[in-house]
Structures are given as structure tokens and as C-alpha cells.
Amino acid sequence: MTALLRIGIVGVGGIAGHHHQILSRESDVRLVGITDVDPARLEARGREWGVTAYPDLDALLPHVDVVFVCTPPGYHREPTVRAAAAGVHVFCEKPIALSLADADAMIAACRTAGVVLQIGTNFHFHPAYRAMWRLFRDGELGELATCWMRNSHVFPSRGWDERRRQGHWRMRPEDSGGRLFEQIHIVNWLHWVGGPVRSVYGRALSVAEDLPVDDLDLAVLNFDHGYGLAELAMTPTAVNEASVGIMGTLGGVALHGQQILLRRRDASEVVEVASTPVPSRQRHFLDCIREGRVPETDGGDGRMSLAACLAFMRSAREGRAVALQELGA
């Protein structure tokens, strides 16, 4: 009989509820404890989920085998490093950190302790996105010309005003990094397709009035072969739409509604491609722990996504393409 993995959650606002929901469906784990810097929120979540609310990380760690770090991005390093030192596996929400120094410390701590570190980017575990990636990986599309992901949706000014009123951490660049960091799934999928990012050219704009953070990001990622294009809008003037695809020398594939459409170079018609079920990112993490495997979205993968976002922000400030080598990446 498989022993239950004891789970703890660090930071119980926002995304923590999603992880709780997914983990509650898994039969080989049990959520045993949570901790948070907000005592009132911690107590409320403890009652809601029926688990022990520990006052701090030191009190939680002796009781768990795994932690899900769901704190804001600027506060990932400390719980990850301390959990690793205690021999506890770590699922860290995205982005891995807001600096390469923090990311490197987290990766080194987990490697030294021999614990699994997975970063919470999720497009590896999206059936359609994975099916498109697999077509390219298997050579069906030839050499890469470009891959792209566009995500545009309306976010009214009153929404930003409410976040400002609440003092929400997403309104503070020092805590969030900026919009592209929050949607780092996009960057992660692009370099999953295209390979290591060599340089980035980007623009970070604010369409809503008086924003301290960007709400429209445009980026070009340069790979060894081909390019990745990212556009992320969360503005009052956006039209809700999304587009994702890959174009190569032998064929192109794109997601059209719920259909994955493939056109080969010499074909007159497009054909629909089927996707297959994919385990959740939480299930992938648990299986890697049990089987001694390295997660697809491990610390190194998270570091590459972070480095690309850091290059994007420098490019947006300086108005030029920025090589990742300039950042020590």
C-alpha cells in the first residue's frame, strides 16, 4: 500500500485554494497543515479546510513531506530553502523568484538536500498546448520559424482601482515583478517549444490611467533557430481573445477555439489534431516524488523563464534587445 504524502501549504490566499481543490481529489496525499503571515486568514482557512493552522513555517515543517509555496513571488526563496533543509519536497508557485540570485539559492538548496523542486507553470499540462508542442518535437513541423501566444482580456479601470485600494501585492512591482512575471506561463511555453532564449526585445505599457505596473506587454524572444512572440493585455480597452500556435518549415499548427488545426506545407486543407489527457501539474509533481524523477518544470526550467522576463523588463526600460548573457543567465 502506498504511504500517504503529508502536504503543507505556505501562504493560503489566492492560488492556494486551487491547489487545495486539486489535491483533495488525490487518494495518496493528505493536507495536514497550513501557515500564513496573516493570522486571521490562516485561522479562517484552517476552519474551512479542516486542517491544523500552524503559526509559522518552523512549526509546520516537522509534520509534512511536501510543501506548496503559494506566497507572492518576492517571498519564495526563504520557505523553499528552509523546506529543503528540512528534507521536504517543494512545489513553488510561479515565477520561481524575482531575481536570479534567489532562484539559484532555491535550486542549490533543493539539489543539495536531494528533494524535488517543481515550479508551478502550467502549460506543459494543458492537453492542446502539449499536443502542439509534441508535433513540433517529433519533427512534423520542420525547423521553427515562429511560435506565439496572445492573451488579451478586458480588465476595467475599477478593477485596478480596487486593487489599489486594497494595497494588493500585484500593484507593487517589487512584489509582483510585473504582468509578464504573473503570466510567465506564456514565456515558459514559448521556450519549451523554441529552446533556450538568447535575447529578448520587449515593451511594457500602461493603458489604464495612473498604474504603477504594466498592463500591456509585447515581447519577441530570440532562440538559436526561430522566434517566440508574446502579447499579454489586461486593459480596459482590450477585446477578449487568445491565440497560440507554432509555424515551421514543414507545417503550422494553431488552436482555433477548441480545435487544434494543422496545415502541412504541401497540403491544400487543414486537418484537426486530437489531444490526449494530461496529468495535472500537481499529479506530475507527486509522481516525480514517488518515482525519483525530475519534473518537466523543474528549477532550471523556471530559471530560464525568469531570466527571459528579467531581460524583457530591461529591454522595456532601455529600448533595445537584451541578451540573457548580460544577466548572467
Domain end among 65, 84, 119: 119
72 with 111, same domain: the answer is yes
Of 72, 89, 119, which residue sits at a domain end? 119
Residue 52 and residue 178 in one domain = no
287 assigned to some structural domain: no
* CA distance linking residue 312 with residue 324, whole number of Å: 10
Would residue 292 count as lying in a domain?
no
In three-state secondary structure terms, 166 is: helix
- Residue 167 belongs to some domain of the structure: yes
Instruction: Encode pLDDT of 12-65 as tens digits.
Output: 988 999 999 999 999 999 999 999 999 999 999 999 999 999 999 999 999 999
- Assess if residue 289 is contained within a domain: no
Do 232 and 95 lie in one domain? The reply is no
> Based on the domain organization, do 104 and 135 belong to the same domain?
no
- Helices marked H in 33-166: 39-49, 57-60, 77-85, 100-113, 127-137, 157-166
- CATH code of the domain containing 48: 3.40.50.720
Rounded CA-CA distance 73/84 in Å is 18
How many domains is the chain built from? Answer: 2
% of the chain residues with pLDDT over 70: 97
Q: Does 316 reside within a domain?
A: yes
Residue 41 counted as domain residue: yes
C-alpha–C-alpha distance, residues 102 and 89, integer Å: 18
193 and 322 part of one domain:
yes
Q: Is 57 domain-assigned?
A: yes
79 three-state secondary structure: helix
Domain span including residue 135: 127-277+297-327
How many C-alpha atoms does 213 have within 13 Å on its Cβ side? 24
Q: Quote the pTM value.
A: 0.94
Grid-cell match 488525490, residue found: 26
Q: Encode pLDDT of 273-325 as tens digits.
A: 999 999 999 999 999 999 999 999 999 999 999 999 999 999 999 999 999 99
* pLDDT grade for 154, boundaries at 50, 70 and 90: confident
Residue 189's pLDDT is 98
CATH of the domain at 272: 3.30.360.10
Domain-terminating residue out of 62, 88, 119 = 119
Do residues 89 and 218 share a domain?
no
132 with 114, same domain: the answer is no
Q: Residue 180 in 3-state DSSP?
A: helix
Looking at the fold, whether 91 and 136 belong to one and the same domain comes out as no
Residue 282 lies in a domain: no
What stretch of H or E contains 181? helix 179-182
Residues 308 and 270 reside in one and the same domain: yes
pLDDT score of 157? 67
Partners of 221 in beta bridges = 200, 228
| Per-residue pLDDT at 42 | 97
* Residue 248 and residue 111 share a domain: no
Q: State whether 52 and 132 are in the same domain.
A: no
Is the same domain home to 153 and 273?
yes
Helix (H, G, I), strand (E, B) or coil at 137: helix
